[in-house]
Structure 1
Amino acid sequence: MTPPAPRIDSLDVIRGVAVMGILVANLPAFGLPEAAYFSPLAWGGSAGWDRFAWFATYVLVEGKMRGLFSMLFGASMLLVVDRARAAGDSPAGIHYARMATLFAIGCAHLYLIWWGDILSHYALVGAIAFVFVALPVRPLVWLAFLFVAVQAVIGAETTLAAFAAAARNTPAKVETWTLIASVFGQPPRADLLGEVAAMRGGIGPGIVWRWAHATSPFALLPLVGAETLGYMLIGMAGLKSGFLTGRWSRGRYAWIALVAIGATLPIDMLLAFASIVHGFDQRWIVLGSVGAATVLRPLTFTGYAALLMLTMRPAGWLTTRIAAAGRAAFTNYLGTTILMTFVFDGWGLGLFGALPRATLYLFVLPVWAVMLAWSRPWLARYRFGPLEWGWRTIARLEVQPWQR
């Protein structure tokens, strides 16, 4: 039995924070109709504590945790390639087998369990990102800026289309306004009630609804693929430069965290206030979540990563627990989906659409506690999380070592 590859603690900690933060971001998508993820007007309440919950999630979490996760995905890709090369395996063969397996798992997750899957999208973008793994740091950074800029142009076009369609004085503008409302505003009440009935109806109706309404991985690729690819390249550059492995000075990390977070979060707060002042008009939701966010988000999650590099304590109780949750992030991500869909969907407790937005966040601490409680004891005995082991076994077509 070969010994497990050495871990980079900082990557595990950041990945653990990301998977815990993704739970916070995804709770409205687990418990409310799809449009409510962006717009409080769609479902779940838009006043009082519900408004505050939306505001805090938008400013601190929305898109930022996905950015961290994407960045770590890119960094981890480099580690897999390097270890394959060191073992005498084909890096391309190992990588594309992993991406093909991940795509299949992601599609099953998307259509059988939950519409918000990101794994299948990562698999497609990861297949593209492999082309860039041999590049040095500087070209990776410039290419990341380029792809994020492409996404910014797409976001600007979407935002301008939303404002231009507000007049609804032509059939084309009515169609555009209605399409944008289905994601960022108030869809027709009948559509919302149909989604609620499907999610409360059990496994079969939920699958039928997702098959008809969920965005396919291939359709998602041109919408946000450039952004995701840019984030993965940032992760590659972060690993090669030592930013993600703790090789930079504490002063440099502090400066990045202060400037990046200090510059972007106040703007996010202003955008959130603008949405509230304009009554959550979908034009302002699009501006905040698509138009401006595309530019702000990379700075924010890079600042978060720098802050984590400053605050983590490698031997500390909490740090080691979070690192273990990050080592088993694949299991924690999919396990969270299963747990939350049991709470909200009809095959479980059937609470979909029944709770106000603010109440959803009462699940955060208990689920975090589960992540932190099981991950470290499990990994003290086993080499991988259970689903990490399954992913590795299927991708390599060989049963992988299980126990330490």
Structure 2
Amino acid sequence: MNATTAPRSRIATLDIVRGVAVMGILAMNIVAFSMPIEAYVNPAAFGMETSADFMAWLGSFVFIEGKMRGLFSFLFGASMLLVIQRAEAAGESARLVHLRRMGWLLAFGLLHYYLIWFGDILFSYAVIGMVAWLFRNLESEDLIKWAFWLILAQFAMMALTAWSFFEMREAATAPGASVELMGQWSAMKAEFAVPTATRLAETLALYRGDYAGIFQDRAVENGTFPIVGLVFFGSETLAYMLLGMAALESGFLKGEWSGRAYRRTAIIGFAIGVPAYAGLAWLLVADNYSVPMVVATVMAATVVFRPAMIYAIAAFIIILTRRGGALIDRIAAAGRAAFTNYLGTSLVMTTLFYGYGFGLYGTMGRAELWLIVVAMWAVMLLWSKPWLDRYRYGPFEWLWRTLARGTPQPMRKRAAI
């Protein structure tokens, strides 16, 4: 497709599921926007003052945390394959189109991380997307097999990490443990434990402070964080992209399966995932949110159950939205503008919570944060469709496409004749 032709027809189901995913990403990330990072993996670390806060965490743990990230990766893989296939069909260099898109996405990711928010996923998507190119011609069955082994590798890495935490705790708390060993254990568990009063005060002061201090923390103190995230979660992210590619090829994400097949997928996935996640939550609570159990349940054990939940959630979304309607059209529009909604959410949330904006960081419990989430969902649904009724792309989608193509893309839709 050249720069003057109209965009190819959309796959409605893909847009709808992507719309739900980008909204769900906010529900997952809201804790990281508004609370110390320890609270993202350890519910006892912050924001758990009431029973409503506990229920908010439990619901998020079972249905949202990790699942929305996985679903977003799932859809990224499907969309990436679709772009490659369409470039090939148009006689373009699919390799060049893909690498340009990933290269500019990498740049967006680094700018997002260093200038806006530390929770960026675009950098990892760009790097892993370049790797996913190697799998573009595989059949669905082979893509699923590769994803299986990648998820197994992710689980093995996380399980070994959890085992090291249990071992270190036992050694550091044993009679006669050295001061050096106890210091190592204290440093090792710091990212997952309830923060000390000093650490909490430092974190609150940082994010309630000015932009310069927050930028310095990202760029200087934690400048390698994107690389660390890539190393620790790259295998799993690639697995989800491959599963998304397989789901596109099989017709799952095109809405081509029968209602019975989608229902069966949802029932089986939820039957596996919901009891498993509920059981992991029980183990975590029963162990009083100890750091080794946090790593074992939240970081490790969830890896093996997450794919079932991702498929179940995707199938459930497709079942509920098959008849369409005004709300569904708005969700699809939010999915078409997912890149803009993702980056826009970071801009809005950091302005709300950080000190250079409204300074709400650390002032709200987990249940209260849902008010912010729902309000932002409303913004996504309200702006996306009217904009896309008039324009071909969301603002950041247009910029990404223009940079990747090397020439300004047509923005305004032509009036019907």
Give the SS at the match of 1:184. Answer: coil
1:163 is displaced (CA, Å) by 1.4
Structure 1: gaps (5+ residues):
none
Is it true that 1:356 corresponds to 2:359 in the alignment?
A: no
1:321 is displaced (CA, Å) by 0.8
The answer to whether the 8 A contact 1:239-1:245 is kept is yes
User: C-alpha deviations, 1:38-74, integer Å up to 9, x for none?
Assistant: 1123222354222222111111110000010000000
Residue of structure 2 aligned with 1:39, choices 16, 39, 42: 42
Partner residue, 1:229: 238
Instruction: Provide the rounded CA distance (Å) in 1 between the counterparts of 2:180 and 2:148.
Output: 33
1:364 is displaced (CA, Å) by 1.6
1:190 is aligned with what amino acid?
A: T
Is it true that 1:185 corresponds to 2:193 in the alignment?
A: yes
1:191 is aligned with what amino acid?
A: R
Pairwise CA RMSD? 1.6
1:182 is displaced (CA, Å) by 3.0
The answer to whether the 8 A contact 1:36-1:43 is kept is yes
Residue of structure 1 aligned with 2:132, choices 126, 129, 135: 129
Partner residue, 1:310: 319
1:191 is displaced (CA, Å) by 2.8
Report 1:3-402 matches (<5 A).
3-167=6-170, 168=172, 169=177, 174=182, 177-211=185-219, 212-213=221-222, 216-402=225-411
Kindly tell me: are residues 181 and 142 of structure 1, through their superposed partners in 2, closer, same or farther at Cα, counting changes over 3 Å? same
Deviates more, 1:226-235 or 1:167-176: 167-176
The answer to whether the 8 A contact 1:178-1:187 is kept is no
The answer to whether the 8 A contact 2:334-2:341 is kept is yes
The answer to whether the 8 A contact 2:148-2:239 is kept is yes
User: C-alpha deviations, 1:173-225, integer Å up to 9, x for none?
Assistant: 64664355233222443233222212111211110112213652222222110
Runs of 4+ in 1 over 6 A off after TM superposition: none
The answer to whether the 8 A contact 1:328-1:385 is kept is yes
TM-score normalised per structure 1? 0.96
1:310 is displaced (CA, Å) by 1.4
Instruction: Provide the rounded CA distance (Å) in 1 between the counterparts of 2:392 and 2:361.
Output: 36
Deviates more, 1:184-193 or 1:148-157: 184-193
- Identity of counterpart residues, as a percentage? 44
TM-score normalised per structure 2? 0.93
1:88 is displaced (CA, Å) by 2.2
Give the SS at the match of 2:159. Answer: helix
2:376 is aligned with what amino acid?
A: V
1:171 is displaced (CA, Å) by 6.8
> Which structure's CA Rg is the greater one?
2
Structure 2: gaps (5+ residues):
none
Instruction: Provide the rounded CA distance (Å) in 1 between the counterparts of 2:228 and 2:123.
Output: 11
The answer to whether the 8 A contact 1:181-1:187 is kept is no
1:378 is displaced (CA, Å) by 0.5
The answer to whether the 8 A contact 2:37-2:191 is kept is yes
1:5 is displaced (CA, Å) by 1.1
The answer to whether the 8 A contact 1:81-1:95 is kept is yes
1:170 is displaced (CA, Å) by 5.6
Instruction: Provide the rounded CA distance (Å) in 2 between the counterparts of 1:57 and 1:48.
Output: 14
Give the SS at the match of 2:189. Answer: helix
The answer to whether the 8 A contact 2:49-2:365 is kept is no
